[in-house]
Amino acid sequence: MFRMGMGLAAAVMLVLSACAQAPETGRSQLILVSDDQMNQAGAQAYRQVLSQEGVSSDRALQQRVATVGSRIARVSGIENARWEFVVIQDSTPNAFALPGGKVAVNSGMFKVVQNDDQLATVLGHEIAHVAARHGAERASQQMVQQGGLQALGLATGDPMLVQLAAAAITVGLTLPYSRTQESEADEIGLMYMARAGYDPRQAIVFWQNMEKAGGGGGIGFLSTHPSDQTRIQRLQALMPKAMAAYRAAGGSGS
């Protein structure tokens, strides 16, 4: 009983010490996985995806994504990311981000994206997932849901890196984010693109384009996402704040 009590106490202490806050929104998060572990897992998963899917040979698209992504990353305030931006040869309008700053956009996304401001909507959203540590939060939720209290053996010094890294890879590649995280990424990404000098009003146009393209029908980029109309309404409510940031960055418009 004493040893069980000590283990429970250690688990409680770890949970209490694992409380974090998302940027911009201040939402409370439970994160049980370290950034180093998630970054290692993200890099490994990124290499796997590139080897399986293939990189687009369109140099103009590659440069465009790298330029817009780097500009947004600079205003995100993330200090420990090693940013990489790539276009994957895939006709599905999709994009994803992995912990550590690995961001990919499918070539099919350019059937929907009409300009760099709309591309900034996509990249701002994905960079926001990294900034808010959504991958680590999702991995932590999975650990708890799957009886992950055993993984809290970290508090007692048990070597759990392999288990945690495997969980992080699974989350990064296959498990969808929650609607809360998706809405949060929309909000954070909107502010990032505005601060980087991209017109936040184009975020609404982008989602209207996605709706017209039938984007709500199961595209990976929209898994568990709010409906197009719901997110458009929320973006409209956030627009005064985003426009103020855009004007402060040198943009124009009322």
Q: Quote the tokens at residue 228.
A: 């197009």
- The partner residues of 87 in beta bridges, in order of sequence, read 105
Backbone φ and ψ for 28, nearest 5 degrees, come out as -75, 140
pLDDT greater at residue 228 or residue 222? 228
Does residue 194 carry a pLDDT above 60? Answer: yes
pLDDT greater at residue 236 or residue 17? 236
* pLDDT value of position 225: 58
Q: pLDDT band at residue 64, thresholds of 50, 70 and 90?
A: very high
* pLDDT value of position 38: 86
Q: pLDDT band at residue 2, thresholds of 50, 70 and 90?
A: very low
Q: pLDDT band at residue 138, thresholds of 50, 70 and 90?
A: confident
- Whole-model pTM: value is 0.80
Least confident stretch, 6-10, 77-81, 122-126: 6-10
Mean pLDDT of 5-16: 42
Helices (H) and strands (E) in the chain, counts: 9, 5
SS (H, E, C) the chain: CHHHHHHHHHHHHHHHHCEEECCCCCCEEECCCCHHHHHHHHHHHHHHHHHHHCECCCHHHHHHHHHHHHHHHHHHCCCCCCCEEEEECCCCCCEEEECCCEEEEEHHHHHCCCCHHHHHHHHHHHHHHHHCCHHHHHHHHHHHHCCHHHHHHHHHCCCCHHHHHHHHHHHHHCCCCCHHHHHHHHHHHHHHHHHCCCCCHHHHHHHHHHHHCCCCCCCHHHCCCCCHHHHHHHHHHHHHHHHHHHHHCCCCCC
Are the C-beta atoms of residues 9 and 140 closer than 8 Å to each other?
A: no
Q: Which residues are catalytic?
A: 126
pLDDT greater at residue 96 or residue 119? 119
Distance CA(164)–CA(41), nearest Å, equals: 9
∠ CA 66-35-53 to the nearest 5 degrees? Answer: 45
* pLDDT value of position 7: 41
What's the mean pLDDT when you consider all of the chain? 80
Burial 43-70 (b: 16+ CB within 10 A, else e): bbbbeebeeeeeebeeeebbebbbebbe
* pLDDT value of position 150: 54
* pLDDT value of position 222: 42
Least confident stretch, 8-22, 135-149, 167-181: 8-22
Q: pLDDT band at residue 147, thresholds of 50, 70 and 90?
A: low
Using the structure block, give the residue that is written with the tokens 């184009």.
202
